[in-house]
A and B are shown apart, each in its own frame.
Chain A
């Protein structure tokens, strides 16, 4: 009897825990979306931020976020995929391999602010890139690399063995087999992982604080010459991203409508991340269906 009562109580506590988790998510999303959506308008998305006056928008920050994300992915994906291929295909068990594995693990668990400080030291000061899109993207590359490496390795390991054996049996070299058979077969699962990691990069802020900077020059969206200082495409201008903007507005913002801007920006940020997640999920589902032949 006693143990049955304990059983009942303990199990309901566990269910409560799960319910609490779901409640936290729902109330957070609800709060952000309800508070934020009212301040999102076309005007909000397409006006530049104003430091003193109310009514500023987030056009530049939104653009910066996507631009930094794009450059980061451009740098991370090739390196990360190659690194993952190394671990899945070329690495022989031994000291070097286990050291590289340790390095990936260390990179994955370093605090992002440490990566930001490293970026400040190396890219901003030593290489002289200043606070710029490029410095930010390079720091985020360090931050995102281990994720892509893992995703690629898992994708390659999930492939059936006979695909590789088939390629090698045709007399193809190892690299040729990887390039023409294994990589295309693993591509969908790698892509899913890349999109998920894009959501993570998009929301990252601590690593960008000291690398991409806290300000944006006046951007002229008619000027697409990447060398012009006010061009949105310029790699060497400072670029405050959306998530950094949320932080800086809340800590040092002096405009009267701080709350509106912060809530609106947070809603835009969360919606973008949700879209990334949904997209990756849908892709995963489609791929699963295709491979299981349903």
Chain B
């Protein structure tokens, strides 16, 4: 009986191509199906592999190219890192001191974090603690749109609003370190705010209730209970914002003034690793010393980005343990 049924089924499957209930396939179709399983699997694994390849290739290529200036052009690594004189086109005795750019990058990053953190954390608390319903309803789209605005537009705004404002009130050209920091600070605001809001929301309600139960005010609850409880993930939010600020190129380049000297104050024009690469890379020929040095700057950029990534991972792990 059973055998009969199978044969008739197989026959109908062969005859009509598909049975009415489920797509039962013929022997050969099933064979190809199994092959499609392995083919699909291969496709999936290749894509996953590609991710590894991309990261490895980026690291490897930039490292090899970045080491050229030390290996091929025999620049001293230490004088390169700490030197403050950047005169790559001086005819006799050109000097490549990258310190002003490293300093500029770090200064912009920290100043931007300093500007962005209070407003971003404030917004996050507003969304997650004070006005949970309508606050989120209004601020969520605001944050999403701000995240979506391209960085050149932030640069353009800095160029046409912040820089003239600085020029009027603090003198100088208006293109300086603090202008760059403000532009980048505003740029990382939404990133920090949305991650911070998530981490505040993750604090269990029982903590808040316990705090209210012993008579704490809303602010005391926020300051003494909620913020310490979400501690390391709040710091993660800030570090992620800083890593974004650190890597930003064009927006900073448009407003920072692009000076080759170490800035004496936050009102002096400066330059960062990204801005000097942006400005000079197109004008150099491959293989020249300046070109190699720019790749070394790129390598430093990559390494510091990795440091940020490691910090974020460390913080995430610490958050998990707690």
Contacts and interface: CB of A to CB of B under 8 A. Distances in A.
Given A18-B123, A103-B51, A103-B55, A114 B302 contact: yes
A210 B61 CA distance: 16
Interface string A241-252: 001101100110
A161 interface: no
Nearest to A15: B126
A25 B145 contact: yes
B152 A203 contact: yes
Given A17-B118, A173-B34, A203-B153, A86 B54 contact: no
A22 B119 contact: no
Q: Is the interface of B mostly helix, strand, loop or mixed?
A: helix
Contacts of A6: 217, 219
A109 interface: yes
Contact of B47 (A83, A204, A209): A83
A277 B151 contact: no
Nearest to B190: A21
A179 interface: yes
A266 B156 contact: yes
Contacts of A117: 62, 277, 281, 295, 298
B149 A270 contact: yes
Given A111-B248, A112-B247, A203-B153, A214 B282 contact: yes
Interface in A160-175: 170, 173-175
Interface in B230-280: 240, 243, 246-250, 253-254, 274, 277-278
Contact of B126 (A17, A91, A103, A175): A17
A276 B148 contact: yes
Given A25-B146, A117-B298, A18 B51 contact: no
A3 B220 contact: yes
B50 interface: yes
Contacts of A209: 249-250, 278, 281-282
Contacts, number: 256
A79 B61 CA distance: 22
A91 B47 CA distance: 12
Interface in A191-210: 196, 199-200, 202-206, 209-210
Contacts of B122: 13-14, 16-18
Contacts of A204: 150
A118 interface: yes
A189 B205 CA distance: 29
Which range contains the number of A residues in contact with the other chain? 35 or more
A18 B156 contact: no
B43 interface: yes
Contacts of A11: 130, 218-219
A82 B219 contact: no
B157 interface: yes
B51 A100 contact: yes
Which range contains the number of B residues in contact with the other chain? 35 or more
A31 B161 contact: yes
Contacts of A276: 148
B183 to A, nearest CB: 11
A85 B160 CA distance: 45
Interface in B34-87: 34, 36-37, 39-41, 43-48, 50-52, 54-55, 57-58, 61-62, 65
B159 interface: yes
Contact of B119 (A20, A90, A170, A259): A20
A220 B141 CA distance: 40
A47 B246 CA distance: 37
A86 B45 contact: yes
Interface in B156-177: 156-157, 159-161
Contact of B153 (A25, A32, A110, A173): A32
28 contacts: A3-B220, A7-B220, A11-B130, A14-B125, A18-B123, A20-B119, A21-B143, A22-B142, A25-B146, A28-B157, A32-B156, A35-B160, A83-B50, A103-B51, A104-B51, A117-B62, A122-B57, A145-B51, A146-B51, A175-B37, A199-B148, A205-B150, A206-B248, A206-B274, A209-B250, A263-B156, A266-B152, A269-B153
Interface of B: 22, 33-34, 36-37, 39-41, 43-48, 50-52, 54-55, 57-58, 61-62, 65, 118-123, 125-127, 130, 135, 138-139, 141-146, 148-153, 155-157, 159-161, 186, 189-190, 193, 217-220, 222-223, 240, 243, 246-250, 253-254, 274, 277-278, 281-282, 286, 295, 298, 301-302, 305-306, 308-309, 312-313
